[in-house]
Structure 1
């Protein structure tokens, strides 16, 4: 076994490899870019070496710099993780040429999988099922059209040297074939430098099921069961589980045998994943072999009890596989989701910034967290914005889903926006609960996973208000206790003021919408008015992070997480994020529906203006977009009219309640 290894990667995978290496008594060498000087993998490794600038091309993709560090540090082997150089055959060759061990497959095996067309032909020759299609070198339009007609429609055009969903087109008729072909070839040429394509039958409503394989240098090749990754968005996996709820024992056996056959066909060694596409009738077809450890490998570890990184290290050191096929365990059900710094409501736009607050579930036999960041770290713009992988295990799928819902409810991420709420809606959706999802479902029905009007809940808004009021009362009581006269009536925390019976105004922001509340009461009994709606709250008890009360007579319980700028609520199924903003009185007492001004609800910066002076606008039409408290707020026309002027432009900083736009009658 090795004494010291270098990890040519970053983030959670580097931290993951370090944990196993430390358990085995192997010292670790990390590499880092300018952007990662304070990263967790740098802090966890036994030593860390700087290799360049923040851009991957200047650091983590610099094979020469990584090899130099390996030699200077005395590392005996290099673990490539996944991504970056992990599937680069030239790098694997260079590692071996330097007298080091590459902890992964041989370069020759990688090259056999480098071309989709070549890989498909190789698998077909080995007897692995492949999708009917055309992979020939004759790329003339006439030949490709003739082959398309032979294969039948619908069919898919794929860039032969592509990946990541680029250079792919689904064609449903011969008339549409040539335009789609030309478009696909242009995209392939631009993205990959080569415009060769392959054709294959398009499988409607497919499922994506992959088999984890392992092989050693002594002729041993086995599989470690399957993972289903059918929940995808734009070909990127968002929900992975093992075992697949779709497979029968017979189909599982057949797919496992085919995966082993595929690995042997390319003389594979170490960890790999054979990916299959499966049609609704259970016919499966080879897609590709990922010649590395996969992001979703923890679900295999949770259901087998094995450490795949340890297996990688032992196989790379020349040891035989620890198990034979018949002894591979299978226990319970595991699910993985990935927490990202991204904004699902803005097209999953990646985010960046400081993780001002990061609360994740406590690890246990049922919950595993793989992360490369902690609270206070920064999600940078240079790399994948993943915050953590959340993996759960239980005896069966329904219980594992329940575990995952509970674990997600405990996640609090403050700083960049995250996809936690999106994942919670995903887990409640019938396509996931019933295991009926296919690879295109999310893209076809994405609106079903986005916030809707049903997410507005008067009880939740009232609970947020009560939690804020209770905090104010606690602070006031504590201040009174420290005062010279703690029994003074002015120290009573009931909000009473001369002229009104304890009315207190609150203003909250939910998803960019300003919510104004009028609250009365104290000590666990409140009346919360919102427009014409009233919620009577009684029996409030705030214990730790849990608030329980009766809302208009019905008891409910919310998990409460206070932040400097507001409050998060969770009722076990849904979450609400509410920002507390200053309450500003409107001058003149105008009815908002007849107001001719659009005002700033709080201090902030204008980031967009959506109309021009003279434009006719409708009630509710977006006029400006404002950034405040790390949120974008949509400022809309209060009525129909014509824009007479804008008093702010993109980039301007504005004060609360300042007039930003003025309307006049049409």
Structure 2
């Protein structure tokens, strides 16, 4: 076994690898950008090396800087984590050429599975069932449109070099194909430097089933059962679980055997995931599951597999990279209970899932479930990287128990002032159809209004705010400071009385009551009180909003909700627009976000150009009402 490992990544996955490496007695080495100088993964490591500016393309995505850091620190091995360079075959080759150990599959396997069209052709040749579609080299728009018509709508456009939902668009009719193709190509080019696409038949009730596989350098390959990742939004996984609900023994044998066959076809070594799409219109069936792609790395959702198998997948990666055989044979790998994982993002579901950035002044995760997190209280969520701040994982004897435990944990999340999707996750986990296992990849979109509806505080939350307001009035300090007097304050009982407060700018009468017991409250300043409930942070003010605050978007100014890059601009001065019409598109935190007109009107000015970098709060355009 080697003695030291450098993780060429950041955040939660770097911390996850460090935890296992420390347990195994290995020295841990971090790399970090200027934006991550105070990050938790840097503090966790035995040593850390600065590798460049905040932008990933100038730091985490520069192979030469990673390898130089390994050489400078004497690291013997490099673990790529997931994302960034984890599936970059050239980087894998460069690591080996530099005399270092690559903790991942051979570059030949990465290349074989890296391009979706070539991978599907290879899998078909190996006898693995693949989704019907178009994998041709001809990328002319006319050819693609013709092939889409041949396949039949709806079709799915997918980036050849894609992953994580980037460069992917569903098209329901021929009239929308040209626009969808253009958007998919732009996103693919920005994310992967490759705008080629393939086409697939779109399965109307698809479930995303994936199989964790492991191979060693002695030619052994095993599976660690399946995961279901069907709960998605915009092709991004939201909640994952293992095993897949409704999976019978015959279907499991078919899909896991296909996954092992796929891995063997490319002489796979290390951790990998073979992803399948299943037609769930008649339940899971062996003849209705097709190969979709293979991720040649560890997955974000690997903890659910760890929980149901009792294994440490990172330890397996390290041992296999050191040349050891797989720790267990297939017959020795058990499956116990049910595990489910929710991805906690810094975003606002009620505002179209816009990313949220800033310092985590208050950050408390429940101790009742496993929490893999890349940040700590006092840390900062920046606009430069993925907005995932933690993963919450529950494990229980039954699926129903695991869902209930995770929903309760999501309800107990406390984060301020950064917004999160904790309440949204809890509502997903508590949805009756999801609990019943009646789910496919369109579940969230079909139920979006209900799942993202901004909730109202309960009487208990109102009572908590009222009591906190009374406490503030009675204990005004001569020199008040934020995050002091009531941080983490939990209420017990209160006398019978009422207080007039403001929520979302509107007055509410909050009655004092014993129901306030147990609510967690923060005092922000003399005017604001935050009450945590059901994964949400309710902000109560003691005074009405100012005229400027009340105006909001009514003045017609379209402001950037975050720092980002203008990647789409569909209007110019003088254009007439209607409420909800897209005006421009921003790219931030690895995603595109459309900004729409708040009312019917005319574009007075456009203050930005395509490709411009903008700061949070910058005025991008101004409308006048008609």
Q: How does 1:170-249 map to 2 (within 5 A)?
A: 170-172=170-172, 194-249=194-249
Which residue matches 1:465? Answer: 466
Question: Is 1:610 matched up with 2:555?
Answer: yes
* CA distance in structure 2 between the aligned counterparts of 1:421 and 1:29, rounded to whole angstroms: 36
2:362 counterpart (357, 360, 363)? 357
Which residue matches 2:39? Answer: 39
* CA distance in structure 2 between the aligned counterparts of 1:185 and 1:611, rounded to whole angstroms: 32
Q: How does 1:55-134 map to 2 (within 5 A)?
A: 55-134=55-134
TM normalised by structure 1 equals 0.75
- Alpha-carbon spacing, 1:251–1:515, altered in 2? closer, same or farther (3 Å): same
Kindly state the Cα deviation for residue 451 of structure 1 after the two structures are TM-superposed.
2.4
* CA distance in structure 2 between the aligned counterparts of 1:222 and 1:260, rounded to whole angstroms: 6
Which residue matches 1:600? Answer: 546
Question: Is 1:506 matched up with 2:506?
Answer: no
* CA distance in structure 1 between the aligned counterparts of 2:189 and 2:62, rounded to whole angstroms: 24
Q: How does 1:484-495 map to 2 (within 5 A)?
A: none
Question: Is 1:341 matched up with 2:346?
Answer: yes
* CA distance in structure 2 between the aligned counterparts of 1:318 and 1:494, rounded to whole angstroms: 64
- Alpha-carbon spacing, 1:180–1:579, altered in 2? closer, same or farther (3 Å): closer
Q: How does 1:136-151 map to 2 (within 5 A)?
A: 136-139=136-139, 144=144, 147-151=147-151
| Partner SS for 1:455 | coil
- Alpha-carbon spacing, 1:182–1:469, altered in 2? closer, same or farther (3 Å): closer
Which residue matches 2:568? Answer: none
> Do the aligned partners of 1:27 and 1:46 also contact (CA within 8 Å) in 2?
yes
1:322 counterpart (317, 324, 327)? 327
| Partner SS for 1:129 | coil
The more displaced of 454-463 and 428-437 is 454-463
> Do the aligned partners of 2:466 and 2:499 also contact (CA within 8 Å) in 1?
no
Aligned-CA RMSD value: 3.1
1:402 counterpart (404, 411, 414)? 404
Across the two proteins, how many residue pairs are aligned to each other?
538
Question: Is 1:300 matched up with 2:280?
Answer: no
> Do the aligned partners of 1:11 and 1:41 also contact (CA within 8 Å) in 2?
yes
Which residue matches 1:553? Answer: none
> Do the aligned partners of 1:155 and 1:199 also contact (CA within 8 Å) in 2?
yes
Question: Is 1:578 matched up with 2:538?
Answer: yes
* CA distance in structure 2 between the aligned counterparts of 1:166 and 1:92, rounded to whole angstroms: 23
Offset from partner CA, 1:10-41 (integer Å, 9 cap, x none): 11111111110010000111111111111111
* CA distance in structure 2 between the aligned counterparts of 1:153 and 1:224, rounded to whole angstroms: 35
Which residue matches 2:529? Answer: 566
- Alpha-carbon spacing, 1:101–1:447, altered in 2? closer, same or farther (3 Å): same
Kindly state the Cα deviation for residue 166 of structure 1 after the two structures are TM-superposed.
4.2
> Do the aligned partners of 1:606 and 1:651 also contact (CA within 8 Å) in 2?
no
Kindly state the Cα deviation for residue 410 of structure 1 after the two structures are TM-superposed.
2.4
The more displaced of 85-94 and 137-146 is 137-146
* CA distance in structure 1 between the aligned counterparts of 2:18 and 2:346, rounded to whole angstroms: 24
Kindly state the Cα deviation for residue 401 of structure 1 after the two structures are TM-superposed.
1.2
Kindly state the Cα deviation for residue 350 of structure 1 after the two structures are TM-superposed.
1.1
Which residue matches 2:25? Answer: 25
> Do the aligned partners of 2:408 and 2:426 also contact (CA within 8 Å) in 1?
no
1:444 counterpart (443, 446, 449)? 446
Offset from partner CA, 1:42-83 (integer Å, 9 cap, x none): 111111111111111121112111111111211111001111
Kindly state the Cα deviation for residue 99 of structure 1 after the two structures are TM-superposed.
0.5
* CA distance in structure 2 between the aligned counterparts of 1:459 and 1:137, rounded to whole angstroms: 61
- Alpha-carbon spacing, 1:172–1:353, altered in 2? closer, same or farther (3 Å): closer
> Do the aligned partners of 1:422 and 1:450 also contact (CA within 8 Å) in 2?
yes
* CA distance in structure 2 between the aligned counterparts of 1:189 and 1:567, rounded to whole angstroms: 42
> Do the aligned partners of 2:468 and 2:521 also contact (CA within 8 Å) in 1?
no
Offset from partner CA, 1:134-167 (integer Å, 9 cap, x none): 2223445676566445534433333333344344
> Do the aligned partners of 2:414 and 2:532 also contact (CA within 8 Å) in 1?
no
The runs of at least 4 aligned residues of structure 1 exceeding 2 Å deviation read: 136-200, 454-464, 466-473, 502-506, 513-517, 558-565, 574-584, 603-612
* CA distance in structure 2 between the aligned counterparts of 1:417 and 1:188, rounded to whole angstroms: 28
1:374 counterpart (373, 376, 396)? 376
Kindly state the Cα deviation for residue 444 of structure 1 after the two structures are TM-superposed.
3.2
Which residue matches 1:484? Answer: none
| Partner SS for 1:417 | coil
| Partner SS for 1:241 | strand
Kindly state the Cα deviation for residue 288 of structure 1 after the two structures are TM-superposed.
0.5
Which residue matches 2:483? Answer: none
| Partner SS for 2:245 | coil
Question: Is 1:7 matched up with 2:1?
Answer: no
Kindly state the Cα deviation for residue 115 of structure 1 after the two structures are TM-superposed.
1.3
Unaligned runs of 5+ in 1: 477-492, 496-501, 520-527, 529-536, 542-546, 549-557, 585-598, 613-635, 637-649, 653-666
* CA distance in structure 2 between the aligned counterparts of 1:458 and 1:373, rounded to whole angstroms: 32
- Alpha-carbon spacing, 1:144–1:463, altered in 2? closer, same or farther (3 Å): closer
Offset from partner CA, 1:433-482 (integer Å, 9 cap, x none): 12212112212331111225x73545542453245436766x59xxxxxx
Which residue matches 1:332? Answer: 337
Unaligned runs of 5+ in 2: 477-492, 558-597, 599-615, 619-626
* CA distance in structure 1 between the aligned counterparts of 2:174 and 2:61, rounded to whole angstroms: 42
Kindly state the Cα deviation for residue 116 of structure 1 after the two structures are TM-superposed.
1.1
- Alpha-carbon spacing, 1:579–1:25, altered in 2? closer, same or farther (3 Å): same
Kindly state the Cα deviation for residue 169 of structure 1 after the two structures are TM-superposed.
4.0
> Do the aligned partners of 1:4 and 1:77 also contact (CA within 8 Å) in 2?
yes
Kindly state the Cα deviation for residue 2 of structure 1 after the two structures are TM-superposed.
0.9
- Higher Rg: 1
- Alpha-carbon spacing, 1:114–1:464, altered in 2? closer, same or farther (3 Å): same
| Partner SS for 1:99 | coil
| Partner SS for 2:114 | coil
Kindly state the Cα deviation for residue 178 of structure 1 after the two structures are TM-superposed.
6.6
* CA distance in structure 1 between the aligned counterparts of 2:117 and 2:252, rounded to whole angstroms: 26
Kindly state the Cα deviation for residue 239 of structure 1 after the two structures are TM-superposed.
0.3
| Partner SS for 1:273 | strand
